[in-house]
Structure formats: structure tokens, C-alpha cells
Amino acid sequence: MVRKKEERRYAKQGDFIRLAIEDDCGFIGRLSSEVFSTFGDYGETVPQWFVNSGIITVTYVKNGHPLGFAMLSVLSGEILAIAVIPKYQRSGVGSALLNHIENLASRLGLITLLLHTAKDNDVAHSFFQKAGFEVLGTQEEYYPRGQPALIMSKGIYHNR
């Protein structure tokens, strides 16, 4: 119920989430370089995920301009990335993307979502914990530059 209200709220504002299109690849690469640079060269890596047929990528669009994206591995149920232009962070874009990914996962019949987030990224921990994710453990040297990551998961509710 909450998700539907949130989706209607964004529709009223002229914002929407859609499957990413080929034209989004440059945006995804630039944003990944900007927001994930601390962890490695994701400006090249993340666009490669975009073209993988086992990964669904969605883009948040406002007034014809992408503000963020999220990626879900269909096979593993892992959220590979959620990124929002820094100017629009903490404005609901990330939450809308996460809710959209959760709905997709539910429709695909996934029972659990997984993700990794940097161990020292308290903002991300709080964001995901508020969304119902729980810490499963730590993976040392997870990122290309050697930082550890928290492994987090959330069970998916299925409407029947």
C-alpha cells in the first residue's frame, strides 16, 4: 500500500522510473564514476553490467533527465548498484528506486534481496536498514580498492 502511494506521488510530480535504455549507458557510467570512485573504477564496470542480459537496470527520470539508477541481478537477487546524482540524494529518489527494485524482485518470484555496501558507509547502512535490510556479515577486501563490505539481505513479500 505504501509503495503504491509513493509511486502515485512521483507520478503526480512528473517523475517516473523506467527500464534503462541504451541512451542511459553514458549517464550510468558518469554517475558511477562520480559516486563509486572511492571504491574502484566503476565508471567502466557498471556500464558493462548494464548490457548483461541477467541484470535489470531501471532509471529514475524527472523532466526528461535521469537522476539515478538501480541494478538487480535476476539470477542472484543481488542489488548491484543504486546511485543518485548527489544534488538529488536524500530527496526520495533512492527510496523510489529501491521500492521499484523490490517490486520487480517480487514479480520475478525472488524470495530474498542481497546487497553489499561499504562497511564505513553509515548513510547507506541507515538507508538500507530503514528499508528493512539486515546485516548478514562482512566481506573483507570486497571492493577493488580493498575496502570491506557489509552483506545485507531482506526477505521479499509476495502479493498473491
Residue 103's φ and ψ, nearest 5 degrees, are: -65, -45
Structurally, how many domains does the chain consist of? 1
Tens of pLDDT along 35-60?
999 998 888 889 889 888 999 999 99
User: How far is the C-alpha of 47 from the C-alpha of 160, rounded, in Å?
Assistant: 35
Q: Which domain holds residue 55?
A: 2-155
Tens of pLDDT along 135-158?
999 999 989 899 999 999 999 976
Residue owning grid cell 571492493? 143
In a domain, 144, yes or no: yes
In a domain, 148, yes or no: yes
Looking at residue 42, which CATH number applies to its domain? Answer: 3.40.630.30
In a domain, 121, yes or no: yes
CB 77 within 8 A of CB 105: yes
In a domain, 160, yes or no: no
**Dmax (CA) of the chain:** 43
pLDDT value of position 1: 40
